[in-house]
Amino acid sequence: MSDVTVIGLGAMGSALARTLLNADYTVTVWNRSPEKIEPLVVAGAKGAASVFDAINASMVAIICVNDYDTSKALLDHSDITPLLEGRTVIQLTTGTPKEAGDSGLWVNTQGGRYLDGAIMVYPGQVGTAEAQILMTGPEETFENCRALLGCLGGDLRYLGTNIRAAAALDLALIYRLLGRSLGTTYGALVCEAEGASVAQYASLLPQGERSRTIAELIHADDFSIGENSASGNVVRGLAARLQSQARDARIDSALADLALSLQRQSNEAGYGHLDAAVVIKILRDRGNTEQN
Ligand SMILES: NC(=O)c1ccc[n+]([C@@H]2O[C@H](COP(=O)([O-])OP(=O)(O)OC[C@H]3O[C@@H](n4cnc5c(N)ncnc54)[C@H](OP(=O)(O)O)[C@@H]3O)[C@@H](O)[C@H]2O)c1
């Protein structure tokens, strides 16, 4: 048996598995595309040939794939579900609070223990003292996994037993970023309309903050992806998640609706691969259209 299994070896899952290996845990890994398994086997992991073998190999499985539907599709098979009895599933895939709740309920129904988490850093920061990871679930289950999770992020926060809370706080922080980003973009629109300098506007914004990057990109009219970037495709996914949560929870969705509609237009115009600040082009066009 291994100490832990990691399912999903994208950028994040690979970073998680590698960090666990560095901390001397025995790790079994599985990924849909087998070529991502090999580098981890070289680093000391055991490669599993199937999801069944991967779950069977450890009493704790970390799942980190693109979304919850994929996670469910991987686990919901008649040969795999009996294996979940008594095992712990740690879901580190990003999702909505409802998805977290549904996922926890499903694992519990199979007799498994469930923790849901949100990773608040990039893969390159996993395992550092600053890496923040938010976790929710039964306290005893969390305590049993505290050491394991603690090596993934020095700033590990247990949020309590509300299984939806990690996903909720993740979304809350995304709202804050999105509001600032959109606000900054509208600010640049005001500068342009009034003949004020967007460069001066950028210089008034805090160094290192995404909002400053946005104003600088708009001033330079260069929306290539850089170190501090979020692509239009990524932001569209985030906005869709915000809208979905708002609808699930019946809260106002005006900001999510605006962000999603702008990002859709931007991506349909072929800008999805560029920095999301390129949405200023859509706002300029909208303004002109509204005037006519
Ligand atoms: N990267 C970040 O900065 C970051 C930060 C915080 C949280 N996260 C979260 O971590 C999770 C993984 O992100 P990532 O950056 O590792 O993404 P990624 O590099 O795109 O990897 C996605 C993973 O999902 C798997 N996958 C996708 N569709 C699948 C399917 N139909 N069946 C089986 N496996 C499938 C991929 O397998 P293949 O290799 O076969 O395609 C891969 O292992 C996401 O929920 C993301 O939101 C990421």
Ligand 1 centroid – CA 112 distance (Å):
23
pLDDT band at 229 (very low <50, low <70, confident <90, very high): confident
Q: Is 8 in the pocket of ligand 1 (CB under 6 A)?
A: yes
On the question of pLDDT at 291 being above 70, the answer is: no
CB distance 128 to 99 below 8 Å = no
Distance CA(107)–CA(24), nearest Å, equals: 28
43-70 average pLDDT score: 97
User: What DSSP designation does 86 have?
Assistant: T
Per residue in 239-267, pLDDT (tens digit) is 999 999 999 999 999 999 999 999 999 99
Ligand 1 centroid – CA 75 distance (Å):
16
User: What DSSP designation does 45 have?
Assistant: P
Q: Is 70 in the pocket of ligand 1 (CB under 6 A)?
A: yes
Per residue in 100-137, pLDDT (tens digit) is 999 999 999 999 999 999 999 989 999 999 999 999 99
Per residue in 177-228, pLDDT (tens digit) is 999 999 999 999 999 999 999 999 999 999 988 999 999 999 999 999 877 7
Q: Three-state SS for 113?
A: strand
Nearest Cα residue to atom 31 of ligand 1: 70
Query: Which domains are delineated in the chain?
Result: 4-162 (3.40.50.720), 168-291 (1.10.1040.10)
Distance CA(112)–CA(187), nearest Å, equals: 50
Nearest to 72, CA basis, from 96, 46, 106 = 106
Q: How many CA atoms lie within 13 A of 278 on its CB side?
A: 25
Nearest Cα residue to atom 20 of ligand 1: 10
Predicted pLDDT at 292? 63
Q: How many CA atoms lie within 13 A of 132 on its CB side?
A: 8
Q: Is 13 in the pocket of ligand 1 (CB under 6 A)?
A: yes
Q: Is 64 in the pocket of ligand 1 (CB under 6 A)?
A: yes
pTM of the model: 0.91
Q: Which residues partner with 50 through β-bridges?
A: none
127-154 average pLDDT score: 97
Question: What DSSP line would sit under 211-274, residue for residue?
Answer: HHHHHHHHHHT-----TT--BHHHHHHHHHHHHHHHHHHT---HHHHHHHHHHHHHIIIIITTS
Ligand 1 centroid – CA 91 distance (Å):
12
CB distance 197 to 191 below 8 Å = yes
Distance CA(127)–CA(134), nearest Å, equals: 14
Predicted pLDDT at 230? 82
Nearest Cα residue to atom 28 of ligand 1: 66
Least confident among 56-60, 96-100, 132-136, 229-233: 229-233
Task: Report the atom number in ligand 1 closest to the C-alpha of 33.
Answer: 40
Task: Report the atom number in ligand 1 closest to the C-alpha of 122.
Answer: 3
Distance CA(205)–CA(191), nearest Å, equals: 14
Q: Which residues partner with 46 through β-bridges?
A: 28
Task: Report the atom number in ligand 1 closest to the C-alpha of 118.
Answer: 7
